[in-house]
Amino acid sequence: MTNEEQILERIERLENEIAPMARAARSMGELREELTPRVNEAVQALIVELADVESDFQIEDLLFLIKKAMRNVRNLNFTLDQLKNFIDFAQTAEPLMKSTVPQIIYYLDDLERKGLFQMATVFIDVVTKIGETHTAEDMEQIGDGMAELIGILKKLTAPEALALLNNAADLPASMDLSRAKPVGPLGMFWRLGDPDVKEGMGVLIELSKSLGALKGIDKEP
């Protein structure tokens, strides 16, 4: 092989090696030509947007933020850990919430249908009106009276008291006041022969004995 052939072979080899680089350079040039207008547009838009915050932004503020972030790296790490724990909790509780929330909504809807919320609103209105018309001292006195009334109601729930009240409630239905006539001493004496009158007088005497307690007199045993 002559020197000329060797030179041509080397030139051809160099051309083969340089060809990919030339193609890459052309591709980069084409890419640069395509991106240059877009980059210019992005830079212009960025300049316009930064102009809006130019009066509020100072480079010192950015440096202060960076230094403060560096001083609070541990706090930031702790915050991120807590955020991760919260996300894990939310992911764990999500299935439970999906089954529980509809039940709660159904329960609240049932209470609303029964009028509980309306009753609560009315109760709040009543309490508000009471607060507007009575002082705190009045409310305290009313509270003491309510405590006493609860004690009285407790006594009235005794079986004997309930039986007496039940029988007393039946009296109006069993009486005919249109048949009542004036009765003198002789008439009363004659009426004592009636067994019902005798029983009534016995009940009246027992009630009379108990009525003495209304005067607040404590009897010694």
The per-residue pLDDT for range 85-95, each reduced to its tens digit, is 999 988 888 88
Pick the most confident of 38-47, 74-83, 168-177: 74-83
70: number of CA atoms within 13 Å, CB side? Answer: 6
**Helix intervals (H) in the chain:** 3-52, 59-71, 73-113, 116-133, 136-156, 159-174, 185-191, 195-211
CA distance 153 to 147: 10
CA distance 168 to 160: 12
What percentage of the chain exceeds 70 in pLDDT? Answer: 88
In the chain, where the domains are located: 3-56
Tokens of 156: 């009235």
* Site of tokens 């004592």: 192
The separation between the first and the last C-alpha atoms of the chain, rounded to the nearest angstrom, is 151
CA distance 104 to 111: 11
CA distance 35 to 28: 10
Q: What is the pTM of this model?
A: 0.33
Of 155 and 173, more confident: 155
The residue-averaged pLDDT of 71-75 equals 91
pLDDT band at 220 (very low <50, low <70, confident <90, very high): very low
The residue-averaged pLDDT of 8-25 equals 77
- Average pLDDT of every residue of the chain: 80
pLDDT band at 82 (very low <50, low <70, confident <90, very high): very high
